[in-house]
């Protein structure tokens, strides 16, 4: 029986990638849950609902399909979020003026007023999270995140599938460097 303490080289890269991705997911989950608790207690809405409100800010109206794409929500989940926001008077829904098959969503007066509170909360959260970093670390961190986003957009799931079929990714010189 092989020992898993020294896995074959192709598995080392996979374990390392999984470990990095797991940490990223843990950070995302912690931020989401903290934001969700705070928004529910202070504004009475969830973080998912706040993202919808923020996405609608400054727009006359947008269709549910456009909103779902922007937020990467499935239509069923978005419909439930919109219904909850309608129930508390933050958004309203109406038929598209040029296409009666589409529903448009827009903020109500109280929804517009809530945008400033959500924006202030997100800004304060951002400041609190980066307050432990030096200016150079913040600049490096943001730069690395941008590179990861560019690399992810450029290679997407197809790049990940190719790695899985090959057995291990090619080593690169830096995190986020295009493969």
Dump pLDDT digits (tens) for 90-131.
999 998 888 888 889 999 999 999 999 999 998 898 898 889
Q: How far is CA 59 from the centre of its chain?
A: 20
Dump pLDDT digits (tens) for 120-166.
998 898 898 889 999 999 999 999 989 988 888 787 655 554 444 44
In this predicted structure, what is the pLDDT of residue 157? 55
Per-residue confidence at 173, pLDDT binned at 50, 70, 90? very low
Dump pLDDT digits (tens) for 21-47.
888 889 889 988 999 999 999 999 999
* Model confidence, pTM: 0.68
Q: What whole-number distance in Å separates Cα of residue 87 and Cα of residue 74?
A: 20
Number of Cβ atoms within 10 Å of the Cβ of 179: 13
Q: Where are the domains of the chain?
A: 9-132
In this predicted structure, what is the pLDDT of residue 74? 92
Which CATH code, of 1.10.150.240, 3.50.50.60, 1.10.10.10, 3.30.559.10, is assigned to 9-132?
1.10.10.10
133 with 142: CB under 8 angstroms? no
């Amino acid at each position: 029986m092989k020992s898993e303490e020294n896995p074959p080289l192709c598995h080392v890269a996979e374990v390392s990638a999984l470990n990095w991705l797991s940490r990223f997911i843990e950070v995302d989950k912690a931020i989401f849950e903290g934001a969700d608790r705070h928004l529910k207690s202070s504004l009475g809405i969830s973080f998912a609902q706040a993202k919808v409100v923020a996405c609608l800010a400054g727009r006359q109206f947008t269709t549910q399909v456009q909103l779902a794409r922007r937020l990467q929500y499935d239509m069923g989940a978005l419909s439930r979020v919109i219904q909850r926001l309608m129930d508390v008077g933050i958004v309203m829904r109406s038929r598209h003026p040029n296409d009666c098959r589409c529903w448009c969503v827009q903020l109500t007066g109280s929804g517009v007023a809530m945008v400033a509170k959500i924006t202030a909360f997100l800004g304060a959260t951002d400041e609190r999270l980066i307050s432990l970093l030096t200016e150079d670390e913040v600049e490096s961190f943001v730069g690395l995140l941008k590179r990861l986003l560019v690399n992810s957009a450029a290679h997407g799931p197809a790049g990940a599938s190719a790695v899985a079929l090959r057995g291990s990714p090619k080593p690169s010189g830096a995190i986020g460097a295009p493969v």
